[in-house]
Amino acid sequence: MGSRTGIVVTGTEVLTGRVTDRNGPWLAERLREAGVDVAAVIVVGDRPDDVRDALSFLAGSGVDLIITSGGLGPTADDLTAQVVGEFQGRPSSLDTELEAHITAIIERLSAGRGWRLDPAATAAGTRKQAMVPDGASVLAPVGTAPGLVVPPHPDRPAPPIVVLPGPPGELQPMWPAALADPIVQQALAGAAELRQRTIRLWGTPESELAATLRAHDDVLDGLEVTTCLRDGELEIVTRFGAAAQPNYDRLAQVIAETYPRTLFSPDGRTIDDVVADALLAQGRTIATAESCTAGLLAGRLTDRPGSSAYVLGGLVVYSNAAKTELAGVPAELIERVGAVSAEVAEALARGAAGRLGADVGVGITGIAGPDGGSAEKPVGLVHFCVFGHGRTLARAVQLPGSRADVRKRAVVVALHLVRHLLSEG
């Protein structure tokens, strides 16, 4: 499938999960947009031998280009540039112009932030960052760490290696310069258009979709189809070359005809986008009253820029007193049926709409756990209600997983109930 790359993400903090890898997925998508396939993303710690092993594996797999991220700082554990230079058979030497450039950056940052730096330590760190493998191209630093494009020594059969900093705020602005480098352009000369399309279903099991794909395997030629079930949503991602577009169009038609009731996004939009677009198109506003999710739904509704056009606000009503005082739920109702009930969920939805003057109100009340459940109302039970223009949609769901899982999945269920209400309207 044209040119292929491998990505090595370095950093013990990423390997151990203290920091989530944002660079690997971001680079993979930028490469796909450039028509380049990614063979592998490898995460390694700050250990030279592990970095070398990852480079050796990718070089042996036949990729046209390797990209690394991380390990370019001034501290002793940041050794990526040195290791890459050695791997490519190119010893490093001091680039005095680059050293002066980094020094000027540090002086500007220090003056603006009021830092007091030890001159000797700063000079040593700057010198380390200005060591460049012989024959490498320097990518101008966004922070203090320059990037590098390191070709292999003529006697070594290896692909070029692009060395990028670890902080996403430095890596991402540097990427256009890396992609435009002549050595990189030559390595990726075989790039061809690589399309990616996403379809999303709500409530369809993966097993059913798998049976559908088996029954229509005649349309899968040239398509790389992957599926992921996440919080009740089935995501179908298909990658293909331009020549396979007719096959993809037939696949999309098969899915639309087979799952008309559960297909909610034929164009890849998320449920957040679908709900926001519907609210905007219908000129409606929304408000929430949340107990067990404690504002997570309101937070997600406002993640999208411009959400002030349709989100009026949210009530966090964790205690029974808050449900009564803020959302107007009768205390007698809570005492009679309990806070986790269909009746209270409806009262919360109506209260959110009424108290905040919204067209649509959402009420959520449940038991996120790990304690507080009973035989009648077990942990994971969540009641939902969406109210708008005199109509209500209610649902009670038993959600699996940890406390965090229950709260996260409850937000997704609520969003889909809002979608149903708006689509019926």
pLDDT, tens digit, 9 for 90 and up, residues 291-309: 999 999 999 999 999 999 9
Check residue 257 and give its pLDDT.
Answer: 97
H or E segment and range at residue 264: strand 263-265
pLDDT of res. 282: 97
**pLDDT digit string, tens, across residues 73-101:** 999 889 999 999 999 999 999 999 999 99
pLDDT of residue 355: 97
Average pLDDT, the chain: 96
Please give the pLDDT value at position 425. 62
Task: Taking residues 341-357, report their average pLDDT.
Answer: 98
DSSP annotation of 244 reads G
pLDDT in tens, 364-408: 999 999 999 999 999 999 999 999 988 999 999 999 999 999 999
Question: What local confidence, expressed as pLDDT, does residue 76 receive?
Answer: 86
Model confidence pLDDT, tens digit, residues 165-184: 999 999 999 999 999 999 99
Q: Are strands 360-366 and 92-94 parallel, antiparallel or unpaired?
A: unpaired
Angle at 410 between CA 404 and CA 416, to 5 degrees: 145
- 395 has which bridge partners? 384
pLDDT digits (tens, 9 = 90+) for 235-291: 999 999 999 999 999 999 999 999 999 999 999 999 999 999 999 999 999 999 999
Chain centroid to Cα 68, Å, comes to 20
Q: What is the pLDDT of residue 112?
A: 85
Alpha helices in 70-149 (DSSP H): 80-87, 96-113, 119-129
| Nearest-angstrom CA–CA distance, 319 and 270 | 32
Q: Is the pTM value of this prediction over 0.85?
A: yes
* Of 64, 56, 43, nearest in space to 83 by CA: 56
Output the pLDDT for position 77: 87
**pLDDT at 113 (0 to 100):** 84
